[in-house]
């Protein structure tokens, strides 16, 4: 089980628990504002763009090439950007903090 904290654009902090699946699915299932997941999690829309807290980057590992390519289309992307549809829930990401991109 992993606890994942989302910080929304309204500065609301929402902590959810999950055991499997993608972080995006967890967020969409709980109505986290700003995580839309329009493509259903196939890394083709960037509507699940988040910023990983700097201290948590090791937990997520690097973005794949296709994810990096998608993020390059977003003007707000930076070195902490990830698409949360590409982050799988596992014990390894327990305690992670993700700020939802605007």
Return the H-helix or E-strand segment holding 5. strand 2-7
Task: Report pLDDT digits (tens) over 24-77.
Answer: 999 999 999 999 999 999 999 999 999 999 999 999 999 999 999 999 999 999
Phi and psi at residue 83, to the nearest 5°: -95, 120
| pLDDT range class, residue 85, cuts 50, 70, 90 | very high
Per-residue pLDDT tens for 11-25? 999 999 999 999 999
Q: What is the rounded average pLDDT of the residues 78-84?
A: 97
- Provide the β-strand partners of residue 49: 83
Phi, psi dihedrals of residue 57, rounded to the nearest 5°: -60, -35
Sign of CA dihedral 32, 6, 93, 52: positive
Q: What's the rounded Cα separation, in Å, for the pair 99 and 88?
A: 17
Task: Kindly report the pTM of this predicted structure.
Answer: 0.95
> Span 2-100: which CATH code?
3.10.20.30
């Amino acid at each position: 089980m992993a606890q994942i904290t989302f910080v929304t654009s309204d500065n609301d902090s929402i902590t959810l628990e999950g055991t499997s699946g993608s972080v995006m699915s967890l967020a969409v299932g709980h109505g986290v504002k700003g995580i839309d997941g329009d493509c259903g999690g196939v890394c083709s829309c960037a509507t699940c763009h988040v910023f990983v807290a700097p201290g948590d980057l090791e937990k997520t590992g690097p973005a794949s090439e296709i994810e990096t390519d998608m993020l390059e289309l977003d003007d707000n992307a930076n070195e902490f950007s990830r698409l949360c549809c590409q982050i799988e829930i596992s014990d390894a990401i327990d305690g992670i903090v993700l700020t939802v991109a605007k």
